[in-house]
Amino acid sequence: MPHTPLTSEEIREGRHKLRRKRRIAFLFVAPLLLFIFIAFIAPIGTMLYRSFYHPIVSQLIPQTIEKLSHWDETGSNRPPTDTVRTFTFELVGLAKERRSGKLAEEVNRFRPGTSSLIKSTARKLKRMQPAILEKKGNILSGIDPQWDEIQLWRAIKKSGVIVTDTFYLTALDLTRGASGEIQGRETKVYIKLYLKSLKIALYITLLTALIGFPLSYYLATAPTRIANILLVFVLLPFWTSLLVRTTAWIALLQTNGVVNSTLEFLHLIDQPIEMLYTQFSTIIAMTHILLPFMVLPLYSVMKGIDPSYLRAALSLGAKPLPAFIRIYLPMTTPGLAAGALLVFIISIGYYITPALVGGTEGQMISNIIAFHMQSSNNWELAAALGSLLLFLILVIYWIYDRMVGVSNIKFG
């Protein structure tokens, strides 16, 4: 039969129905998109924004920062007297508004030890008579000779930069010299923490794989009734509070805990072993907590593998171990890769368990990020550290996708 062309009215009606279906589909997805924006995109965007945008000092002493921007800090001359007097009056205003402490806190990050100087100077300026403040000259030098130091004014100027890479340089243990060149710090703090976090996450991933693989294999090959019972024990940690599980390890690993008491009772040790608040305790506790994230992906993949492949290889004369390695193991690669990726990414950013059982030796980069957010109130540095951690995780995922992604997996 010849095809009857659609009329313009039918075409418009069809387009209207298609748009209506798209709107309905979007309304179904809209709550999920809103949740993703509120829970992920907005916090990450704010973190990235705060890692380089720092307007606090320029808002506290705007006139001083404006004048310091024209000062050549590479020379040996101190800032002009007019700039110093402008800073003096702005510091008096901050002292009256009780905001001089915030300025002291910000400048102290760029030159440690200046917090007390700014606070004490602000208190003295606040008590001075207006007539004394109006006199020409450098009043600050009379209060404290440290105000004649060029490094102090460099720190004030540096703290007033609105868009800065200072926090990223600090997170990479770098700094800028007097002439602006990037140079390394003598003490490496954050790079060592990143490397230690990667090492701990790698140990945890390997341990969960070594423990989880045979367990998953047994679950996949065991009778259904036994497998279901054992699977309940695998899922049981999800029904218990993370804080309770972590606290249980404190009771197990402390000096007079269950492990040491048992070893002493068996006469295997003469005195308690220091296991708590170490890197060892962090690895052991996190391996226990993250083990289900390795077992479940492996079990789901192994359950779908036809056992006739392995039996066929054995019937053709292959030995059990080579047949297992060449036939069965490659087919479990998707589950093993997914479990390893889950465990590694979760562990590298873990916070609660290292904070409770790790102590100083077992802390990871996430604990330092939390410290700068909760204790030192250096949100910008915390944002820079978090941004670098996010970038590191994305690089690791890219490498994973290139090496063991689904498109790169070959069976047989």
Q: What is the pLDDT of residues 238-264, one digit of tens each?
A: 888 888 888 888 888 888 888 888 888
Question: What confidence score (pLDDT) does residue 203 get?
Answer: 94
Residue 124 located in a structural domain: yes
Residue 242 located in a structural domain: yes
Question: What confidence score (pLDDT) does residue 411 get?
Answer: 42
The verdict on 253 and 368 lying in the same domain is yes
Residue 221 located in a structural domain: yes
How wide is the angle at C-alpha 348 spanned by C-alphas 182 and 31, nearest 5°? 105
184: three-class secondary structure by DSSP:
strand
The DSSP secondary-structure symbol of 271 reads S
CA–CA separation, 246 vs 288, rounded Å? 10
The verdict on 201 and 160 lying in the same domain is no
Low-confidence ranges of the chain (pLDDT < 70): 1-4, 6, 75-76, 131-137, 178-180, 404-412
The verdict on 219 and 80 lying in the same domain is no
73: three-class secondary structure by DSSP:
coil
The verdict on 106 and 207 lying in the same domain is no
106-141 pLDDT, tens per residue? 898 888 888 899 999 888 888 877 766 666 667 888
Residue 71 located in a structural domain: yes
The verdict on 235 and 125 lying in the same domain is no
The verdict on 153 and 291 lying in the same domain is no
| Stated pTM of the model | 0.81
CA–CA separation, 34 vs 46, rounded Å? 16
Domain ranges, residue 108: 56-164
The verdict on 156 and 194 lying in the same domain is no
State the total domains in the chain.
2
The verdict on 231 and 369 lying in the same domain is yes
Nearest one of 189, 108, 172 to 368, comparing CA atoms: 189
Residue 25 located in a structural domain: no
Cβ-proximal residues to 286 (8 Å cutoff; 6+ apart), any chain: 200, 204, 347, 350, 353, 354
CA–CA separation, 404 vs 394, rounded Å? 15
Residue 38 located in a structural domain: no
In angstroms, how far is the first alpha carbon of the chain from the final one? 51
Cβ-proximal residues to 334 (8 Å cutoff; 6+ apart), any chain: 297, 301, 406, 409
CA–CA separation, 125 vs 115, rounded Å? 16
Residue 75 located in a structural domain: yes
Residue 44 located in a structural domain: no
Cβ-proximal residues to 202 (8 Å cutoff; 6+ apart), any chain: 344
